[in-house]
Structure 1
């Protein structure tokens, strides 16, 4: 713990302490008699003295001293009960203070600065401990009074939290306090007789980043239109940075409310926002992104534990996540083993007998006759009780009718709807749009795409068809073997082995089924019986701007594919898109949704395609399909950063990687479906449903890496884009020896003969081997950083558009212009301008 510095003569302490480490300004000492044998008399005497004293008077065995060179006194600034604890304080001093002190010329300034910093850290630690015990501790009330007095904000400007830190002004750090409020970031310092006040509105921040200054101090840099500010020497820099990101993000989202962002109700009202809310939001965002769960899902508990994994015959260490409707597990080793258990699939949660081999065990049984054993669960009784309460609620809201007689069959009634070999594609929901079609097989008999593909392959010769079918059988056999060992429902063990199978390409007969399982759209489908049919009935026949846009794009969706060369396929696509627009009017319909939906319909029934579309638009590609495709813009910025990190030579040659956005944006919006032969692109969609957006990032990097030499030799952006377009046109699937089917970018056989052809399986394998190390957590952190800049850019554009309304002949004061902008956003009474 940090200690209030008090000066003590150094010579009086030499006999009682032994120096372990030292630097220019700090000394780490161990008390004699601690960790020594009994040989030395001094050590035995000191040890005996400590043993006689009670715990309140006993001296900690480790301490850190501040000693300014040339001074005969020193000041204890930290102590610890263990070497590990004191080393943490020593590391903090080395990383944050040691290099900084070299900027001071006066020794008294060094002593004053260090003592002031340590006192501030003590105050922050105290307030942090109190905050965990009560909602409004006395320390926080004191800080609130100082905040209001120093910055004179209106009463509505709520203070969220505060931190001790330094603000760099040139080469000199100014020790003070950072205040984070609803709308502003503020800093106050009074050091060496000089006062410093800073006020930065969140809406003015263009960039937030963690960096290091010239003195090797971990720093948070704030960039606005006017300048940069560096803040450092935080007790917990990660916590501060996360709260800054959350506050900037929430503030900008509230301003851009016309984009249809989904904010929690407590975040919509600024006066209700607390530090705990923001921390919970950050934790929830990561949890939902990692497991790709619905955006309304709230995390309730995170518990360290171990899960029995039968395929490895051991307990795998990881964490259990419990939310409203899910129990999830993630191994500590990234990608080793993940499990998603929807509560509607859970039959029971039971405690087992506690043993030395199986400490604190519980068993979670699911309806497919599988059981998951967790051990080493802290607070097991409370956790089980909470899970049982939520399990009861979920089953009450969505009753489940089990039919376990066919649960072991992957093609049972639970999954038959996605079989490519069935003849139920498109036809089953023709009956939804017309009551008179019941029982009419003739009007609903569209040859499934697999049959259309078979006809095309037969034109290439029976040998090609046989080769394709043989490869399909081999893949199917591998998957069936995998199901036996790892499970075959949404609750399956997700490991590196299944990722390799997915990268090889999912068999046609299982593709729709596994897309539903990997995305967990199967849970939405099972939880909302009849919902899609009602949407179709309510939305069809209504004419509005959205339906007009859908009609314009219907015939542009895979126009050469047999499934969309007749009204049956077009009608199915129309129903799904219109139903989704009715389901989520905030998104409605956006271009590129038609291409994605048409591919989903090739492998799933209408209702299943609808729920897959919901999963993609609302969970797997968040904020992609709003008015300004903000989510896609954020990921484009992340992609540019990854290019600079992984392909620095190419990034340097391109100079402006954003020029690639004209082609790479479609990679993200359509999952490569619009710029690659369909038979190859669906393999990427396989990986996307399993690994999420990470797949598109690494595939994009692999495409650039493969073409790096040609791109570096290109003379301009146009030539570089031509290189990429031609490369993507010539990617084939080894299972498709004939020409690509159903893609308007397909090239002729002559063209194929003059340009190298790349196998999609090779490209996917390279993407995982070279760029697959990027974790979901890293991507989410990068998204947070870039989202602030993207949102700020849109906020600036909105301001500029508002100010353009003002004619040049009319002059306004600055406050008038700001009020006009507020009027445009609906924040002030408009009577003054009427």
Structure 2
């Protein structure tokens, strides 16, 4: 359970003023990386196309590049979708899903993520709210811990390399604002890398509302005290593994390696600290569109690749060797296109996840009693969020719900309306 405590909502820490003074005073020249030679052995810092200066997620220049013509063609298609977004989601969602699976153009990724998550509309209905949250003093028990965590978030990325730089300041603003917005939730350390990825693509206010949607719609309960939601999903994940890759399942069971030991960081950070960066972006594109199903599938694909053959298991003769492999997946073992192909073809549906969730909740109650926290229903991606929004609009206007086609999401831990999509 060491991994759980490492990513759990942080305990009360020391006093902190709730301002950015202690960060901004360091200046942009105070790097959290140290000397340039620690990055890549060169006097000059050169970033890859994603902004990384070095480290495990630095991308070599020999990566496959999309031609300018193809890139412009894809951008045009996405811009056309943006013009009539609600109609595309309501009437042509399979096409939206397909385009997300192909990869969102980097120039449009920020807007696409906000539309897919409906965070853009959330921001518009809460104009000025982020600034209001920033002006609040905040709870000192969270703020000191947030400040201490800032330099750990992608220290080899140009946005976060400098202590007290604009990237770390914006990250602090977002995480502090969330503790004020949801004081009952507070701060969980796994929120920091998620917020940092969002900040790499959009300004702080947009990133904040996107984080809110991830925490409340996509992964509800993941960052709450006790981490019951992630523990439940660990049991669901292990049960699905038995179907998808019995060999990996038997190996992990043989050495008594609980899923919480290796999948906690994968799921809570949405693989942002695990995969090569090109893969991270493709996973996030699909995640924002299709929801937590993608997180389960990626985890299952990784276990199939790492533990799915006799030859691979021959090298892993115990718990230690297996955990080392799962915690340090070789970047060259994960190819972007191959990963996406495996993920999109894996027969793990929303309905299957929900059914297995019901089974695991029942087992939890039989063995441990009632859940400490009532888990909110989670929504399986864009279409479920869109349908919830339309239902809310229909109810507020006193209209009929019959045009929506299908029942409302059932209440209960982690259950959601089954969209019928793989």
Corresponding residue of 1:719: 321
- In the other structure, the counterpart of 2:341 is 765
**Larger radius of gyration between Structure 1 and Structure 2:** 1
Contact persistence 2:52–2:157 (CA under 8 A): no
Identify if the C-alpha distance between structure 1 residues 723 and 465 changes in structure 2 by more than 3 Å, giving closer, same or farther.
closer
| Structure 2 residue corresponding to 1:649, chosen from 240, 244, 247 | 247
| Residues in 2 aligned to 1:486 and 1:531: alpha-carbon distance in whole angstroms | 25
Say which structure is richer in helix.
Answer: 2
Q: How much does 1:512 deviate? A: 1.0
Q: Is the 8 A contact 1:654 1:712 kept in 2?
A: no
Q: Is residue 563 of structure 1 aligned with residue 165 of structure 2?
A: no
Deviation at 1:503, TM superposition (A): 2.3
Q: Match for residue 532 of structure 1?
A: 130
Distance apart, 1:534 and its partner CA: 0.6
State the secondary structure of the residue aligned to 1:627.
coil
**TM-score, normalising length: structure 2:** 0.68
1:269-289 deviations in Å (ceiling 9; x for gaps)? xxxxxxxxxxxxxxxxxxxxx
The counterpart of 1:783, out of the listed 357, 373, 376, is: 357
Give 1:601's aligned residue: 199
Structure 2 unaligned spans of 5+:
1-8, 10-18, 22-27, 29-45, 55-59, 373-422
Distance 2:174 2:69 in 1: 32
**Cα distance, 1:645 vs. partner?**
1.4
Q: Shift in Å at residue 674 of structure 1?
A: 1.6
Residue of structure 2 in register with 1:515 after alignment: 113
The separation in 2 between residues aligned to 1:655 and 1:760, in whole angstroms, is 29
Is the aligned partner of 1:698 residue 2:301? no
Report what 1:686 is aligned to: 285
Alpha-carbon offset, residue 496 of structure 1: 3.2
Please give the alpha-carbon distance, in whole angstroms, between the structure 1 residues aligned to 2:301 and 2:50. Answer: 33
Q: Is the 8 A contact 2:232 2:357 kept in 1?
A: yes
Take 2:87 and 2:204, find their aligned partners in 1: how far apart are those partners? Answer: 24
- 8 Å Cα contact 1:702/1:767 also seen in 2: yes
Alignment of 1:367-516 (within 5 A): 453-454=48-49, 464=61, 468=65, 470-471=66-67, 474-481=70-77, 483-484=79-80, 488-493=84-89, 494-516=92-114
Cα 1:586–1:456, aligned 2, differ >3 Å: closer, same or farther?
closer
CA distance 1:479–1:551, change in 2 (3 Å) = same
Query: Residue 229 of structure 2 aligns with which residue?
Result: 631
State the match for 1:286 in structure 2: none
TM-score by length of 1: 0.35
Partner SS, residue 555 of structure 1 = helix
Question: Does the aligned pair in 2 maintain the 1:581–1:587 contact within 8 Å?
Answer: yes
| Shift in CA distance, 584/483, structure 1 to aligned 2, threshold 3 Å | same
1:591 to 173, 177, 189: 189
- Secondary structure of the residue aligned to 1:563 is coil
Q: Distance in 2 between matches of 1:458 and 1:722?
A: 25
Q: Does 1:546 align with 2:142?
A: yes
CA distance in structure 2 between the partners assigned to 1:597 and 1:490 by the alignment: 26
Q: Deviations over 1:240-297 (max 9, x none)?
A: xxxxxxxxxxxxxxxxxxx9xxxxxxxxxxxxxxxxxxxxxxxxxxxxxxxxxxxxxx
- Taking a change above 3 Å as real, the CA distance of residues 684 and 534 of structure 1, as seen in their structure-2 partners, is same
State how far apart, in whole Å, the 2-side matches of 1:592 and 1:611 are: 17
**Larger RCO: Structure 1 or Structure 2 (Cα < 8 Å, ≥ 6 residues apart)?**
2
Measure, in 2, the Cα distance between the counterparts of 1:602 and 1:620.
20
Q: CA 1:792 to 1:478, structure 2 compared with 1: closer, same or farther past 3 Å?
A: same
- Decide whether aligned partners of structure 1 residues 576 and 784 sit closer, same or farther in structure 2, where only a CA change above 3 A counts: same
Deviation at 1:784, TM superposition (A): 2.3
Measure how far apart 1:613 and its partner are.
0.6
Q: Which residue of 2 aligns with 1:46?
A: none
Gaps of 5+ in 1: 1-258, 260-431, 435-442, 444-450, 731-755, 799-834
Q: Measured at CA, do residues 433 and 725 of structure 1 come closer, stay the same or move farther in structure 2, by a change above 3 Å?
A: closer
Q: Secondary structure at the match of 1:492?
A: helix
Are residues 705 and 488 of structure 1, via their aligned partners in 2, closer, same or farther at CA, if it must alter by over 3 Å?
A: farther
Q: Aligned-pair distance for 1:785? A: 2.2
1:139: which partner in 2? none
Aligned residues: 319
Aligned equivalents of 1:711, 1:517: Cα separation in 2? 41
User: Aligned runs of 1:726-741 on 2, under 5 Å?
Assistant: 726=328, 728-730=329-331
Partner of 1:676: 275
1:510: Cα distance to partner? 1.0
Q: Which residue of 2 aligns with 1:366?
A: none
What per-residue deviation string (whole Å, max 9, x for no partner) do you get for residues 554-603 of structure 1?
11111111101232111110000000000001111001101110110011
Q: Deviations over 1:674-698 (max 9, x none)?
A: 2223343122111111111000111
Q: SS where residue 628 of structure 1 aligns?
A: coil
Check the 8 A contact 1:554/1:570 in 2, yes or no. yes
Bigger strand fraction: 1
Aligned positions of 1:208-247 closer than 5 A: none
Please state whether the residue corresponding to 2:220 is helix, strand or coil: coil
